Structure 1
Amino acid sequence: MRKPNILIFMTDQQQAQVIDETHPCRMPHVEQFAREGLTFDRTYTTMAHCCPSRASFFTGLYPSEHGIHNNVSTATAIQKELNPGVETFGEKLRDAGYSMHFSGKWHISAAENPADRGWDELKVNAGKDVFMGATIDTWRSKDVNVKKHAGRQPGELLRPGWDEFVLYGTNEKSYEETDDYEVVTKAKERLAELARAEQPWCMYVGVLGPHDPFIVPSKYASMYDPNEVELPPNYYDSLQTKPRIYQRMRQVWSQLPEREVKESIAHYWGYCTMVDDLFGEVLETLERTGQADNTLVVFLSDHGESGGAHGIYLKGISPYEETYRIPCVIRWPEGIEEPGRHVHSLVSIMDFAPTFLEVALAGTLNRGGSGLSLLPWLRNEEVKAENWRGAVFNQCNGVEILYTQRMVRTDRYKFVYNPCDFDELYDLQEDPYEMVNLADDPELKPLVAKLYRKMWCEAAANGDRIFNQYPSIAMAEVGPALAIGMGVEDE
């Protein structure tokens, strides 16, 4: 079989559930794409934040291995560039004879741009020179303490001493005037040129949507009727048995009445539909130029969006399904057996780098990593349980607020280690919306201990930094000495 072209369409901050055919959000291009491809229903990121998740995608490594733990573009960055010697699939594919083309969001390093990793840059957003957030000098130059207009507009947060933040609204720009349209246009133009090329190619198209704020052209802002939007099933979660930080985050959004929560969701869905239209344009160009059959196309996001679940928004320090489970569909007409299938096994965002390298016959990354090639699933081969992972894990070290959190997500359970607060345990089979924290249930203490041991073993295998024994920080109920060297997978 000839080497396939590879096209990656990565969205930003998109919930996995919006691509389901039964979901109220309409994404017809993705739905048709899924019928022609393979949907991975339980795909998880390593951190619900742009930089570490994207670095894991490109390297097949955990944050502890690639070195990107939080936002590289702020003053609170733990580290601003990939660890020395870490490879990405970009330079590996280039060395294997692929031409490389990048359009859209980067946000992986404050020291390198895509060109430094083997890509021809068409358009780069969130490159190495961008700075986000604020410093004390920012506030010295602003007058934000006095509201400039009376009242609060829909979706607006008013907080003394902070800039106003508007969660959703209507953009004065048309669809064709948005930044993402330019990203896609650049990609389409290059795709037309690549149809005449003889060598295989890889293209990355990274749109900014549906990242907050959910401010979209009027067509999409009015697409969904808020009166027909239902609140998330876990919107009224009291959070009383959960870490205090979630309660504090929810307090930020307490200004929004239920009507505005529904309006925000309607705008978010509109944003997702706009992203679907952009994806459709890329697929149409691929088809029109005769390159679809031998192109492996991946549609996925870097992380999800809370979207009002548990009463909170955005992402970062929240281990819930809405932020960690990401949409993932792959189509490859010449390489997928029995298209239209759904894979329910646990998949990680680290699995894509080894997948691309295997189909391209481009070798392996020098650091190895925990990523597993998805090629057996594409071929519809029987994958034995012992040859696939039994759990996915996260590594949260905070965002602009540093905060340690580790998650173990097995087929049925999710365990969250919160050194600063309550641990969490959810039975996702009985409680898919993660409402009931079972961590203190005496009958489940053996399960908690087993999941602790899984966490420690994964941390040890991937160079994590959470092993200090000092009593004021070593607050886990089960320590690493009861896990390292034990065959927890065989228990």
Structure 2
Amino acid sequence: MPRPNILFIMDDQHRHDYLGAAGADFLRTPHLDRLAAAGVRFTQCTTNAPVCAPARIGLASGLQPSRLGCLDNSGRLPLGTTTYYQRLRDSGYRVGCVGKLDLRKSDGYNGRYGDRPYAYSWGFTHPEECEGKMHAGSSPTPIGPYTHYLAAKGQLATFHQDYRRRAAAGWSTDCRDSPLDSADFEDAYIGRRAAEWIAHVPDDFPWHYFVSFVGPHDPFDPPTEYGDRYRDAAMPPAISGSLAGKPEWIKKRSADFAPDQIAQTRRQYCAAIELIDDQIGQILDALEKRGQLDNTYIIFSSDHGELLGDHGLYTKSAAYEASLRVPLIIAGPHIAGGRVCDALCELIDLNATICDFAQLAPQRDIDARSLQPILDGQTNIHRQATVAALHNFRCMRTGTHKYIQNYNDCDELYDLEQDPDELDNIAATNPTVVGDLARRLRRRLG
């Protein structure tokens, strides 16, 4: 049997519970739901760093981002670090990408065609690295393939001015529709480019393709065609309650958002997800037309979640569930479908899993663990606990508790079975549990 193709679809800032297959009946994701029905949906996957660049650097390397000194968006993938993209390339795979990478986020120019030399050094043979949402809107002149596309269509000035206004008003709270038509929205561009690549890639070598959508990341600005579908839709309320027991940095960041304002941002967030789901449908159709569905592993996940007003917070950069947990679906050859798995796993585990799919030997000295035994039905247990870290905190999450170690601030401990909304910090009354999780966290992260 020829070695399989591997299609990895990622979006940006997609919280774990905003998926039809996960019970979100207020949102339409038929193509992702179809993928979940064909494979395994993991309910307890957490990011290793709830910020874009560190999460993606950890995924590429299979290492905890903290081991590489990448704890915020200024982090870069260190030169000389082995990536799974390199390993696949060196074993005979074509390795393509379209969309956001964030392996060297601080560089402002992606190249006319998204093929700056760094992309080849990371292991890509067919790169089209697009600009992230705020990156794309930051420049009045083209800085990558998507903004070149907008400039050619006479839309870049309109887009840039719109993002200047949003930046001044507040990225998360200014959630007007995009001035762009649906076809010119960046995630539609990425979806088209992905379907075209799959339709035309030669079949003489196996391929890995990383499709990385830039939404539903804020600003929440779907095209009107999609915004209209959710204009008056009922949305689940945000988690609210006393901030007693929360660290000072959370209290300072939290704001008192009106319920109507939260509902509106959630509607626009759903609209952006439905647009992405439509693009995923086109990508899967292109794969089916090539006759390659039966020999292609398909993965869907996200780099981190989105708080959407929970605890008075937006975006990510916190250890609470909506920020930390991400959706994860895996389907493909010999994977029995229709399964839901509650095993604890980390985003970096996809690094080792993909290398398993490509029939590569396990890589030494990485933190990622392959999910292949679960996919093969050999076990339902993967990790005893998952960890994550940023520059101001680190945390450990077990099947029952979450421990957050805030630097120069109070510790947090939540009983996730009794308090899934994380409203009651029980650290002070449970010193034994705190001590045990602190020791385990220290063993994992140093």
Maintained 8 Å contact 1:45/1:324: yes
Q: Alignment partner for residue 203 of structure 1, among 198, 204, 209?
A: 209
User: Are 1:246 and 2:247 matched, yes or no?
Assistant: no
Give the whole-Å Cα distance in 2 for the aligned partners of 1:261 and 1:425: 27
The alpha carbon displacement at 1:199 in A equals 1.1
The 3 A distance-change label for structure 1 pair 183 and 231 is: same
Aligned partner (choices 80, 92, 95) of residue 97 of structure 1: 92
Structure 2 counterpart of 1:277: 278
> Is the Cα contact below 8 Å between 1:69 and 1:396 reproduced in 2?
yes
How far off its partner does 1:131 sit? 10
C-alpha separation in 2, matches of 1:107 and 1:203:
16
Q: Which residue of structure 1 aligns with residue 120 of structure 2? A: 115
Shift of 1:361: 2.0
Q: What is the SS of the residue equivalent to 2:343?
A: strand
Question: Contact between 1:39 and 1:341, CA under 8 Å: does it hold in 2?
Answer: yes
Deviation of the 1:101 alpha carbon: 0.9
Q: Which moved more, 1:356-365 or 1:210-219?
A: 356-365
Matches within 5 A, 1:37-56: 37-56=39-58
Distance 2:247 2:95 in 1: 44
Q: As a proportion of its length, which structure holds more helix?
A: 2
Q: How does 1:399-418 map to 2 (within 5 A)?
A: 404-418=392-406
Residue 382 in structure 1 maps to residue 384 in structure 2? no
User: Is residue 456 of structure 1 aligned with residue 432 of structure 2?
Assistant: no
1:352 to 350, 353, 365: 350
Distance 2:84 2:291 in 1: 26
- Please name the residue that 2:189 is paired with: 182
Q: Which residue of 1 aligns with 2:144?
A: none
Secondary structure, counterpart of 1:248 in structure 2: helix
Report what 2:229 is aligned to.
223
Contact 2:20-2:30 at 8 Å conserved across structures: no
Which whole-Å deviations, capped at 9, do the CAs of 1:285-343 have from their partners, x for residues lacking one? Answer: 11111111110010100000001111211111x110101100000110x231x211111
- 1:215-236 CA-to-partner distances (Å, cap 9, x unmatched) read 011122122244622312x2x2
Preserved contact between residue 169 and residue 221 of structure 1 (Cα < 8 Å) = no
Deviations 1:152-204 (A, max 9, x none): xxxx999xxx822253111121211112222121211111112x412100001
Residues 1:371 and 2:374 are matched in the alignment: no
Is the Cα contact below 8 Å between 2:188 and 2:275 reproduced in 1? Answer: no
- Per the alignment, residue 334 of structure 2 pairs with 335
Secondary structure of 1:57's counterpart equals helix
C-alpha contact (below 8 Å) 2:94/2:126 kept by paired residues: no
Between Structure 1 and Structure 2, how many residues are aligned?
Answer: 406
After superposition, residues 414-433 of structure 1 pair within 5 angstroms as 414-433=402-421
Q: Which amino acid aligns with 1:204?
A: F
Q: Deviations over 1:391-420 (max 9, x none)?
A: 0001111xxxxxx20101001000001122
Distance change >3 Å, CA 131–CA 62, structure 1 → 2: farther
Deviation at 1:209, TM superposition (A): 0.6
Aligned letter for 1:43?
A: C
The two structures, once aligned, show a CA RMSD in angstroms of: 2.2
Task: Give the secondary structure class of the aligned counterpart of 1:228.
Answer: coil
For 1:372 and 1:286, how far apart are their aligned partners in 2?
A: 28
Q: Where does residue 432 of structure 2 map in the other structure? A: 446
- State how far apart, in whole Å, the 2-side matches of 1:131 and 1:286 are: 29
C-alpha distance in 1 between matches for 2:130 and 2:192: 14
The higher radius of gyration belongs to 1
Question: Does the Cα contact within 8 Å between 2:233 and 2:267 map onto a contact in 1?
Answer: no
Q: Which runs of 5+ in 1 are unaligned?
A: 73-78, 135-155, 398-403, 461-491
For the residue of structure 1 that corresponds to 2:293, the secondary structure is coil
After superposition, residues 61-76 of structure 1 pair within 5 angstroms as 61-72=63-74
1:393 maps to what in 2? Answer: 387
Distance in 1 separating the partners of 2:355 and 2:413:
36
Tell me which of 19, 30, 33 is aligned to 2:32.
30
Change (3 A) 1:422 1:183: same
- 236-245 vs 431-440, greater mean Cα deviation: 236-245
2:8 aligns to what? 8
The SS at the match of 2:261 is: helix
Task: Tell me what 1:237 maps to.
Answer: 241
Query: Is this contact kept in 2: 1:68–1:108, CA < 8 A?
Result: no
Shift of 1:449: 0.9
State the alpha-carbon separation in 2 of the partners of residues 315 and 382 from structure 1. 32
Identity, % of aligned pairs? Answer: 29
Deviation at 1:3, TM superposition (A): 1.4
Q: Which residue of 2 aligns with 1:88?
A: 83
Following TM superposition, by how much is the alpha carbon of 1:424 offset from its aligned partner in structure 2, in angstroms?
Answer: 0.6
Deviation, structure 1 residue 82 = 2.4
